Amino acid sequence: MLTNLTAQPADKILELVGMYRADPRDTKIDLGVGVYKDASGNTPVMRAVKIAEKQLWERETTKSYTGLAGDPAFHDAMIDLVLGTSVARDRIAAVATPGGTGAIRQAMELIKMMSPDAIIWLSNPTWPNHPSIVKYVGLSMREYRYFDAETGGVDFAGMAEDLADAKPGDVVLLHGCCHNPTGANLTLPEWAEVISILQETGATPMIDIAYQGFGDGLEDDAAGVRMVASEMPECLIAASCSKNFGVYRERTGILMAISEDPKNTAVTQGNLAFLNRQNFSFPPDHGARLVTMILTDPELRADWQAELEEVRLNMLSLRKQLALELQTLANSDRFGFLAQHRGMFSRLGTSPEMVAKLRDQHGIYMVSDSRMNIAGLNEESVSILAKAIIDVGI
C-alpha cells in the first residue's frame, strides 16, 4: 500500500531551511522562513515567556487533559487581545489549536461542514499553505488581485473588483495585518470598503492574523479585524501566537467563530470541539498556558509588550535602512515601498531567476517569489543585501 504514494512537492518556504543549512559559505544570509532573529541571528525565548515557564514549573500540579477546546482562560485572553471589546463575548465560540496553521485547517474543515460548495477567496499572492490546505480539505478556491508589482502596494481597485464576484456561502480569506508574503497592507478606509463589499455579496470573512504586534503595534494591527468582526454578522478568525510570543515550536493558536445570534454559539462551540476531537483530540497546552499567564499578569504582560515593541521597532529600522541604502545605490526611489511595508516580510518584486542569482552569487536566501524575511537582517547585512540587489541587476 505504501508503494502507492508519490512524492509531495517541496514546501517552497521550508525547503529553504535545508538549502541554507547545507551552504558552507560563512557569509550566507537567511531571509527565508518567517522566524524573528535578533542582531546576532538568534531567535530568543522572550523574557516574559522564560519567567512564565519558571512559574509554571513551580506551580503546575498535573499534566492531565484540559478540555477538548483547550483552556477557556486562554480563549478569553486571546479574544481580548485580538478583538478587544469589538464583539459581545457570547457571540464567540473558540478552540485552541496547534498553531495558527491548525486554526486555519480547523476553519476549512468547519467551512466544509457548513458550506461544502463554498469558494474560498485567497489573495494573490498569499501564504502558500493557504491554497495547499484549502485543496487538501477538498474546497474550491479563487484568487482576488492584491499586490501591485509596479508600486509595491495593494492593488485595491483590482481587489474590490474581484471580490464583488463572491457569493453568499463563499469565504473571503483576509490577512489581519502584515500581509504574508508581500508586507503590503490595507488602510482603514480600505478595510471599510471590503466590509461594504462583503455585506453586498453576502460572503463571509475569515481573517488570518499571525503577526499582531509586528506591524504598527498591537492595537493598530488589530484595527481591521475588529472592524470586520464588529460590522459583519459572522466571521472566522485564525490567530497565531508563534511569532508575537516567539513560541513557534509550542504550536499555539486559536480559532474563533463569531455567530450573528448568541443562541448559535453553543452549537458552534460543540462543532469546534468535535473537530479537535477528530483531528488530534486535545490541543497542545504548554504554549497556550504561557500565553494566558502573560496576558493576565500585568507585570508579565507589560514586559512582553515592551519586548514585542523592541522587536517591531528593530524590523522597522532595518526596513528604513534597506530602503535608504537602495535609494543611494540605485539613485532612485524604486525601492521606497520597502519602508512602507509592515511586518516581517516584504516582496522585493523580482523574478525567481534573480532570486536564484542572489542565492548562488551572494549566499542570500529568500523565497523564490522574492519574499524576504526582514528580521533575518541586521545593520551589517542590510548593506550586503542592498549591494547584492544592485549587483545582480534587480
Size, binding site for ligand LMR by CB under 6 A: 6
Q: Does 204 bind ligand LMR (CB under 6 A)?
A: no
Distance CA 118, CA 256 (A): 19
Q: Does 31 bind ligand LMR (CB under 6 A)?
A: no
Q: Does 36 bind ligand LMR (CB under 6 A)?
A: no
Distance CA 15, CA 184 (A): 24
Q: Which of 190, 181, 233 is nearest to 210 (CA)?
A: 181
Cβ proximity to ligand LMR: between 34 and 70 the closer is: 34
Q: Does 209 bind ligand LMR (CB under 6 A)?
A: no
Q: Which residues are catalytic?
A: 127, 208, 210, 243
Instruction: Tell whether the torsion through CA atoms of 74, 79, 82 and 84 is positive or negative.
Output: negative
Residue the block writes with cell 471590503: 194
Q: Omega of the bond prior to 283 within 30 degrees of 0, cis?
A: no
183 near 346, Cβ under 8 Å?
yes
Q: Does 212 bind ligand LMR (CB under 6 A)?
A: no
**Contact characters 81-120, ligand LMR, x per CB under 6 A:** ----------------------------------------
**Contact characters 127-146, ligand LMR, x per CB under 6 A:** x-x-----------------
Q: Does 183 bind ligand LMR (CB under 6 A)?
A: no
Q: Which of 178, 191, 213, 187 is nearest to 81 (CA)?
A: 213
Distance CA 206, CA 176 (A): 9
Q: Does 253 bind ligand LMR (CB under 6 A)?
A: no
Q: Omega of the bond prior to 298 within 30 degrees of 0, cis?
A: no
Q: Does 346 bind ligand LMR (CB under 6 A)?
A: no
Q: Which of 279, 277, 234, 281 is nearest to 258 (CA)?
A: 234
Q: Shortest approach of ligand LMR to residue 13 CB, angstroms?
A: 4
Which position among 34, 98, 224, 376 is part of the footprint of ligand LMR (CB under 6 A)? 34
- Chain positions contacting ligand LMR, by CB under 6 A: 13, 33-34, 127, 129, 180
